[in-house]
């Protein structure tokens, strides 16, 4: 009995998670299961939860977004508190948070796209994929308008985000039935959709990052003709590479009588420079497979080459901390941890974030059991944060009012109409809250 009491006394009373995306929510779930009596608070600078799931996952992948239902249950039963519209570094400092919580886990992600570092990379008509994703997903704070996209598009990159871009470029309005896509942004694009799309990958097919399932998904879209050029076929021991090659071969073999768009993948291609005076006119290749042109006439270049791990100012709340990616540990210092993309770097989808969250939760539990945990006797948890910040916070019940408003406002064929302005979200909450 004495051992159990000692363990109970050593358990954390207040746990803070900064960021309500998948990594933060999975971590909150795991720590709440271990310490059900602890106050677990998940903070987000936005008035709405779920981060990457709500705003990063492609709008036509509703099956992926459905993971939020299990997080809904954790927030709804009171075991985990959602505290939206509370920004660390603006409403209160990280030091204040650490003074009031025994354990703080940073799960605020990495979100800035890596730009093309070639001559002409800043010309009008060069777009980072994140601007398109943000517009289609109605990201607020700031709301980014849908970029203008021309008829002849080059997509640079061949990972899953690049395939998200290709899928968006070739889909019709009917393909978004039952989604939460921002209809105004989609309509703008569909007024004059792309007809010629070229996708460039420095790697051969066998080494490309795209999931085989994502490649096969392209083949389900009607009216599109696919082709590809490749270098360096997969070796016999590269089973995944051969599956990926087979998937592209199946795409190219599709019989399309009347096409409305053509997509050509060039593997082993190296962008050299983008030509244009006031706007993109062509992309010149530094290297390409035999038989492929060295100049691609185009009016739009979409960069989908990952995220910038060294972009300045992403974590204004913690400029003094080193956020160099680390796969080995989530611990920054005793009582302070990081998880997800903020820990590993900007790669890996939701299953990878789930696995990482569980590993960091185990690390936290092990640290507590090993005596690395030092409870703050003066810690008050959520009640110790500035009164003004708490007065402006958005609870999970408040979020439900926003959710209901969005669902009621859905256009035919859509499951919701997302509110794109953060102040409007807050006004929706105030209007629904009894005086």
Task: Write out pLDDT tens, residues 50-83.
Answer: 999 999 999 999 999 999 999 999 999 888 999 9
pLDDT value, residue 311: 62
Q: What is the mean pLDDT of each run of 10 residues along the chain (435 residues)?
A: 42 96 96 96 97 92 92 92 96 95 92 88 96 94 90 96 97 95 96 98 93 96 96 91 96 94 97 97 95 96 85 70 87 95 87 95 95 84 96 96 96 94 95 77
Q: What pLDDT score does 112 carry? A: 79
- The tens digit of pLDDT for each residue in 194-206 reads 999 999 999 999 9
**Is 244 in contact with 270 (CB distance < 8 Å)?**
no
Compute, in degrees rounded to 10, the torsion defined by CA atoms 97, 72, 360, 53. -100
Quick one: pLDDT at residue 5?
A: 35
Q: Quick one: pLDDT at residue 367?
A: 94
Find residue 154's DSSP bridge partners. Answer: 198, 301
Nearest to 169 by CA among 248, 280, 266, 263: 263
Superfamily covering domain 2-111+310-394: NAD(P)-binding Rossmann-like Domain (3.40.50.720)
Q: Is 370 exposed, middle or buried (0-12, 13-18, 19+ CB in 10 A)?
A: exposed
Answer CATH for 126-303 from 3.40.50.970, 3.30.230.10, 3.50.50.60, 3.40.50.11540: 3.50.50.60
What pLDDT, on a 0 to 100 scale, did the predictor assign at position 57? 92
109, 69 Cβ separation under 8 angstroms: no
Q: What is the pLDDT of residue 314?
A: 62
Q: Would you call 427 helix, strand, or coil by DSSP?
A: helix
pLDDT of residue 7: 43
How do beta strands 261-267 and 224-229 pair? parallel
CA distance 98 to 338: 14
Separation CA 365–CA 362 (nearest Å) = 5
> Which residues make up the CATH 3.40.50.720 domain(s) of the chain?
2-111+310-394
In angstroms, the CA 16 to CA 27 distance is 10
CB 165 within 8 A of CB 304: yes
CATH 3.50.50.60 domain position(s) in the chain: 126-303
β-strands 152-156, 126-128: how paired? unpaired
Query: Judging by DSSP bridges, how do beta strands 280-287 and 14-18 pair with one another?
Result: unpaired
Point out which residues pair with 105 in neighbouring strands. 17, 337
User: What's the predicted TM-score (pTM) here?
Assistant: 0.91
């Amino acid at each position: 009995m004495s051992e159990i009491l000692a363990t109970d006394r050593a358990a954390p009373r207040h746990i803070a998670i900064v960021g309500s995306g998948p990594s933060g929510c999975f971590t909150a779930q795991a720590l709440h299961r271990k310490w059900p009596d602890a106050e677990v608070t998940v903070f987000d600078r936005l008035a709405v939860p779920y981060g990457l799931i709500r705003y990063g996952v492609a709008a036509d992948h509703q099956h992926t977004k459905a993971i939020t239902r299990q997080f809904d249950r954790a927030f709804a039963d009171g075991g985990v508190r959602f505290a939206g519209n509370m920004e660390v570094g603006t409403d209160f400092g990280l030091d204040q948070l650490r003074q009031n919580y025994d354990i703080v886990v940073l799960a605020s992600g990495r979100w800035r796209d890596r730009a093309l570092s070639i001559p002409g990379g800043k010309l009008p008509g060069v777009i980072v994929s994140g601007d398109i994703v943000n517009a289609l997903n109605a990201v607020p704070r700031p709301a980014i308008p849908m970029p203008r996209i021309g008829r002849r598009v080059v997509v640079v990159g061949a990972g899953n985000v690049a395939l998200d871009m290709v899928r968006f470029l070739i889909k019709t309005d009917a393909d978004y039935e039952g989604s939460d896509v921002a209809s105004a942004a989609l309509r703008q694009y569909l007024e004059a959709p792309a007809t010629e799309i070229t996708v460039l990958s420095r790697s051969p097919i066998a080494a490309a990052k795209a999931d085989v399932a994502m490649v096969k998904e392209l083949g389900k879209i009607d009216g599109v003709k696919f082709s590809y050029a490749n270098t360096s076929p997969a070796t016999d021991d590269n089973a995944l590479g051969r599956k990926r090659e087979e998937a592209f071969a199946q795409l190219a073999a599709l019989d399309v009588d009347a096409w409305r768009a053509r997509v050509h993948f060039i593997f082993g291609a190296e962008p050299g420079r983008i030509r244009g005076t006031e706007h993109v006119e062509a992309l010149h290749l530094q290297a390409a497979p035999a038989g492929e042109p060295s100049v691609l006439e185009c009016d739009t270049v979409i960069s989908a080459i990952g995220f910038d791990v060294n972009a300045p100012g992403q974590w204004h709340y913690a400029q003094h901390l080193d956020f160099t990616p680390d796969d080995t540990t989530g611990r920054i210092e005793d009582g302070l941890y990081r998880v997800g993309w903020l820990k590993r770097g900007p790669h890996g989808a939701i299953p990878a974030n789930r696995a990482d969250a569980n590993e960091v939760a185990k690390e936290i539990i092990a640290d507590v059991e090993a005596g690395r945990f030092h409870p703050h006797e003066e810690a008050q948890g959520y009640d110790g944060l500035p009164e003004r910040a708490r007065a402006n916070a958005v609870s999970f019940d408040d979020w439900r009012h926003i959710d209901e408003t969005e669902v009621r406002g859905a256009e035919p064929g859509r499951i919701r109409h997302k509110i794109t302005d953060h102040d409007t979200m807050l006004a929706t909450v105030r209007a629904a809250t009894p005086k």
